[in-house]
Amino acid sequence: KHKISREPVVATLILTNCLIPLSLPSSPFRQQGTRSTLSLDNHSSSPGPAPETSRKRPFPCARGHPPAPGTRHPGHLFAAEHPGAHMKSHSPISRLLRRAASRPHAARGISRPSPSPLPTFPAATCLQQKPRVPSSLLFPRHLCSPPSPSTITACTMTTDDERSLQESVEVFAREVLAPRVRQMDDNAAMDPDIVSACFEQGLMAIEAPEEYGGVGLGFTAACLAVEEVARVDPSVAVMIDIQNTLLITSFMRYGTPEQKERFLTRLCTDTVCSFCLTEAGSGSDAFALKTRATWDEGSGEWVIEGTKCWISNSNEAGLFVVFANADFSKGHKGITAFIVERSCPGLSVGPKEAKLGIRASSTCEVSFDGCRVPADHVLGEVGEGYKMAIELLNEGRIGIGAQMVGLARGAFDAAMPYIHQRKQFGTPIADFQGMQFQYARAAMEVESARVMVYNAARLKEAGRPFLREAAMAKLKATEVAQSVASQCIDWVGGVGFTPAMPCEKMYRDSKIGTIYEGTSNIQLLTIAKSIQQQYRV
């Protein structure tokens, strides 16, 4: 086994094995007469006077070639001629060279006598010489070998199945969704035909097993679908994202076999589900919720009382996953998740909120007034709801990142053809260098955000820690989405400020990314805590 203790060792090996025997010009950094300096210019390219042949072994490699008889070794003047020359060097490279020179010559493979004067080594010969340093200082060969190309893939590379899904979603979004986007935004309502089409295309259950009616692909595939839909309409992407990353995942991971058979099948085929966590008094402090779940011994049911707000997809939902506290004495450890049917007595959905962006995606208040839920409608374990919410939201942040990347790409795709066609001063806008710098930088930002999103997605799929990467991906993607959408309006000018182009809608839709499933400040706190855990002693 080889040990590498310090980084300067690598530099020393390079100097010792290759550079020292070469004929090099005098270094401008060399201070003549100072022993702490590494003299690489002691070897002349032309042979000098022959050294004494009576010597049984050559000088150690750290000393270079011997000087000609009757001459002094350059750079090693007497102390009287150069004050300070007698002082011991403290250079790390010099110390390692002296250490190598002090070892027994046999250990370094140079114990045989030299019958003739030492030659001058050209570079090609130098590379063939046996290393003159202890083997313990050599860099391990298995660390130098490049990994096999088949073991490394870029995080943005896709499998054949993922690529097929991505291509089919792109066609669906362009041909089916795009013609209805403006109407849905103006009416602030989701077209029921679009919802049905999403189920028919399998977009609402990408990760669910095929036995329940799902597509049976992975988390990254779901992110790819969300991204492609968001390029055309982020409102529909919200519905697909929440259904896949929060609801389908919750039933797959925490549902009983009976619950999967009864509810997961519906979520895969025709039922939209809502994730009911946020309340008026619990936003970023999600576990400060006041909704109560009380066990009724007489009926063997849970009774839910409380109100949820800002619930996405609640107008279309036929099923709700509701978080309520079953034991306030335990604090957040009393929070439990319940499956509630829309037809359950006591459940009511309020009117849709008027919003700046993602208008087609419904956002409503959901109230529970003595809503009775059977005992077998508890999702997971009683008191484990807070763990479920944390895990699901951490994964959901990656989905939001994919949504924001798709939004940025959609705005960019809308603006670029326009600025290549429109001319000012007889030149297409895209040909002005100042404009080129702007859209080149915007494209770079979009790509960097996309890499961060799919890096987090791949980590999640591989079962590796991804909390920090998910927070970074969501934060970066939301910032890029806002910036790029805003720039696209600037590039196209006044027309970008009107509904004639999708840039203004994308700009309005981008703002929600900094708010839901963890604000930007919450992402920064998450990232900072992760860094502290890494570096705090």
Q: How far apart are CA 239 and CA 216, in angstroms?
A: 19
Residue 504's SS3 state is helix
- For CA atoms 491, 494, 495, 501, give the dihedral sign: positive
State yes or no: pLDDT of 54 exceeds 90. Answer: no
Q: What is the pLDDT of residue 373?
A: 97
Q: How far apart are CA 484 and CA 231, in angstroms?
A: 13
- Percent of the chain exceeding pLDDT 70 equals 72
State yes or no: pLDDT of 93 exceeds 90. Answer: no
Q: What is the pLDDT of residue 84?
A: 47
Give yes or no: 517 in active site. Answer: yes
| Token reading at 487 | 């720039």
Comparing 100-109, 221-230, 237-246, 309-318, the range with the smallest average pLDDT is: 100-109
If one looks up domain 274-385 in CATH, what number appears? 2.40.110.10
**Residues in CB range of 54: below 8 A, 6 or more apart:** none
pTM of the shown model: 0.73
If you average pLDDT over residues 208-237, what whole number do you get?
Answer: 97
Q: Which of 23-37, 133-147, 227-241 has the highest mean pLDDT?
A: 227-241
Residues in the chain: 537
| Residue at token pair 């990142």 | 401
What fold characterizes domain 387-535? Butyryl-CoA Dehydrogenase, subunit A; domain 3 (1.20.140)
If you average pLDDT over residues 317-339, what whole number do you get?
Answer: 97
State yes or no: pLDDT of 134 exceeds 80. Answer: no
Mean per-residue pLDDT over the chain, rounded? 83
Q: How far apart are CA 489 and CA 506, in angstroms?
A: 10
Tens of pLDDT, residues 4-21: 444 444 444 444 444 444
Q: Cα angle vertex 229, ends 224, 231, to 5°? A: 100
State yes or no: pLDDT of 329 exceeds 70. Answer: yes
Confidence of residue 100 (pLDDT cuts 50, 70, 90): low
**Which listed residue (207, 395, 469, 517) is catalytic?**
517
Q: Which residues are 276's β-sheet partners?
A: 322
| Angle separating helix axes 433-461 and 219-230, nearest 10 degrees | 150
**Residues in CB range of 151: below 8 A, 6 or more apart:** none
State yes or no: pLDDT of 336 exceeds 50. Answer: yes
Q: How far apart are CA 291 and CA 385, in angstroms?
A: 13
Q: What is the pLDDT of residue 61?
A: 47
The CATH class of the 160-272 domain is: mainly alpha
State yes or no: pLDDT of 120 exceeds 70. Answer: no
State yes or no: pLDDT of 140 exceeds 60. Answer: no
Count CB neighbours of 341 within 10 A: 16
State yes or no: pLDDT of 133 exceeds 60. Answer: no
Comparing 18-32, 260-274, 304-318, 420-434, the range with the smallest average pLDDT is: 18-32
List the domain boundaries for the chain. 1-145, 160-272, 274-385, 387-535
- Percent of the chain exceeding pLDDT 90 equals 70
More confident residue, 264 or 99: 264
State yes or no: pLDDT of 57 exceeds 60. Answer: no
Confidence of residue 283 (pLDDT cuts 50, 70, 90): confident
Strands 427-428 and 423-424: antiparallel
Tens of pLDDT, residues 471-520: 999 999 999 999 999 999 999 999 999 999 999 999 999 999 999 999 99
Q: What is the pLDDT of residue 69?
A: 58
Rg (CA), the chain: 35
Comparing 31-45, 78-92, 368-382, 465-479, the range with the smallest average pLDDT is: 31-45
More confident residue, 25 or 460: 460
Confidence of residue 92 (pLDDT cuts 50, 70, 90): low
Q: What is the pLDDT of residue 156?
A: 84
Q: How far apart are CA 523 and CA 341, in angstroms?
A: 33
Supply the DSSP symbol for 144. H
Q: How far apart are CA 406 and CA 230, in angstroms?
A: 5
State yes or no: pLDDT of 125 exceeds 80. Answer: no
Confidence of residue 286 (pLDDT cuts 50, 70, 90): confident
Confidence of residue 68 (pLDDT cuts 50, 70, 90): low
**Residues in CB range of 357: below 8 A, 6 or more apart:** 234, 505, 508, 509, 510, 511, 512
| Token reading at 458 | 């791949």
**Residues in CB range of 120: below 8 A, 6 or more apart:** 23, 43, 44, 45, 46, 47
State yes or no: pLDDT of 56 exceeds 90. Answer: no
State yes or no: pLDDT of 130 exceeds 70. Answer: no
